[in-house]
Amino acid sequence: MADAGYDPVEMARFFNKLNSSGGAAGPQFLSDHPNPLNREAAIQAEVRTLPARSYGFNTGEFQRAKSELAKLPKAAPKAAGSAAQPPDLTVSPGSKQLKAKDFTVQYPENWQVTGENTSSITIAPKGGVVQKGLGLGAILSTYQPQSSPVSLNRDTQALIAQLRQGDPNLSVAGSSQRARIDNSDALVTTLKGNSPFGGDEQDTLITVATDQGLFYMVFVAPQNQANQVQDALTRMTRSLRFSH
C-alpha cells in the first residue's frame, strides 16, 4: 500500500470500522483475520520503519476505480427480516482429496474448497457460506501459539478464548474429549453458537499439536441438522494426515 501511495494505517482503520459495524453480535464465529485491539498501533509502528512518503487518495488509479464502481448497477434491496437460504445437506458418498501445505484431507465430492492457497481453508456445500459467515461446512487452519513448544491443552484453550472474543455468543458445551488422529493426540471440543440460518449452531472443534503449530478444524452446522451431516465430519476427521 505504501508503494502504491496509500497510507497503510488506513487498512487497520478500515477493519476496525468494519468490525464495529457488525453490531453487538460481532463477526460470525470465525474470522480468517482476527481483529486484535493493537492492530492500528502495530501498523503505525511498522510504517515508521518505511521511507518517508506523503500519502493521499487522489491517485489516478483511485479515481478510475471510483468511476468504474459508479457505473455498476445498484443491488436490489433485501427484504426486511429475510433469512439466509438453507444449505444443501446432501453429503455425496464420493470423496475428493485436498492436499494442503501441511496436511491432506478427504471431503464430500459435492462440497467446494475456498482459500486453498491461503492459511485458512473453507470446505462447504452449496449455500453453506453466507453473508454472515460459515453456516455449514469446515474451516481448517493452524493457530500459532505465543510460546513453544505447542501444548495441546493450553493452546486449545487459548484458541477457544480467541474464537469467543470474535464471537461473544460462542460457548463451550462440556469438556474436551481426547482422540487420536493420524497417530497424534487430539482434542475434540463441542461449541454452541447462533446459526446464520436461524436457531442454534453446533460446532465441533478438533485440535492437533503439530510441528507447524496447533492445527484445528472447525466443523460448523445448524444444531437441528448436525446429525444429517455427521458422515461428512466423520470422514474428514478419519482421513486427516499431517506432513511430518
Element (H, E) at 239: helix 230-239
For residue 27, the model assigns a pLDDT of 44
116 and 222 within one domain: yes
Q: Considering the domain boundaries, does residue 229 fall inside one?
A: yes
209 and 164 within one domain: yes
180 and 125 within one domain: yes
* pLDDT (tens digit per residue) in 167-226: 888 999 989 999 999 999 999 999 999 998 889 999 999 999 998 899 999 999 999 999
pTM: 0.67
Local structure of 125: helix, strand or coil: coil
Q: Considering the domain boundaries, does residue 90 fall inside one?
A: no
- What's the total number of domains in the chain? 2
DSSP letter at 48 equals T
The pLDDT confidence band at residue 28, using thresholds 50, 70 and 90, is very low
* Residue 21 belongs to domain spanning: 9-70
203 and 162 within one domain: yes
For residue 82, the model assigns a pLDDT of 54
Cα–Cα dist 197/98, whole Å: 27
The position carrying cell 455427521 is: 230
Mean pLDDT of 69-87: 68
Q: Which grid cell sits at 160?
A: 477457544
